Amino acid sequence: TECFGNPSTTYKLGREAKAAVDKARGQIAKALGCQPDEVYFTSCGPEGDNWALISGARYMRRRGKHIISSAVEHDAVRKSLDFLEKEGYEITRLQPDGTGAIPLEAVRAALRPDTILVSLMMVNNETGTVNDIAAVARMLKAENSIALLHTDAVQGFLKVPFSAKTLGADMITISGHKIHAPKGIGALYIRSGLKLPPYILGGGQERGMRAGTEATPQIAAFGTAAEI
């Protein structure tokens, strides 16, 4: 609350706020095992899921319209997929096995040349089941798939050991309040080089990808929580 200036401005209070945002971005990047410019702040986990799925699908639509996910994803993923289905995308919703996990072979069997996106949560928010996202990433690479890989890691961030680099996902959703930061702050990791279309149009915040004055206090608290 000491940095109440607008981080997008150049006056003194704004510069102080920007420094706080930049510091937090670095803290989150360190916790994720990625570069700071791969971290984009959001208001919550569902926003990150919406952003990843809708922008990811639109980015890839000239190469296909088939998406693979599961029947046991978070509502933010399920409803984003319902929205995309109405836009003409074809969704394959895989069923979990007896342990609640999504079998790797089921993902492989569902792959098609026009599969453009795979979205599977890292840790299920209802059952706690952990999916091996790194194995899915390796399989997609081995199959020479064009598909982007997204994971909702809201329940897994700083609980299940992983880094963005070793995980191999193109997009990772995380949320602040799951690690005791305030509610109303999250982040989306977008792999460097992946040029998704902007999610919210307006100002140049979040490198032109998400317009709107940054919530500096929440962002700073998120960064601190990621270090504790």
Looking up residue 180, the CATH number of its domain turns out to be: 3.40.640.10
Distance (Å, whole) CA 97 – CA 166: 25
Q: Residue 216 domain-assigned?
A: yes
Alpha-carbon distance of 16 to 7, in angstroms, equals: 7
What 3-state DSSP class applies to 81? helix
Tell me what pLDDT residue 1 has.
54
Eight-class DSSP state of 53: I
The CA distance from 56 to 148, in Å, is 8
**Is residue 1 situated within a structural domain?**
no
- Inter-residue contact 116 to 81 (CB < 8 Å): no
pTM value > 0.95: yes
Q: Is residue 17 part of a domain?
A: yes
Taking the C-alpha atoms of residue 21 and residue 18, their distance in angstroms, rounded to an integer, is 5
Low-confidence ranges of the chain (pLDDT < 70): 1
pLDDT at 124: 98
Q: Is residue 55 domain-resident?
A: yes
> pLDDT value at position 73?
98
Q: Where are the beta strands (DSSP E) in the chain?
A: 39-42, 66-70, 90-94, 115-119, 148-152, 171-175, 186-190
Of residues 166, 174, 172, the one with CA closest to residue 226: 174
For residue 78, the enclosing domain spans 12-227
- Count of beta carbons in the 10 Å neighbourhood of residue 129: 17
Q: Provide the number of structural domains found in the chain.
A: 1
Identify which of 121, 134, 147, 123 has the alpha carbon closest to the alpha carbon of residue 56.
147
Answer whether residue 4 is part of any domain. Answer: no
Residue 176 lies in a domain: yes
At 66 the pLDDT is: 99
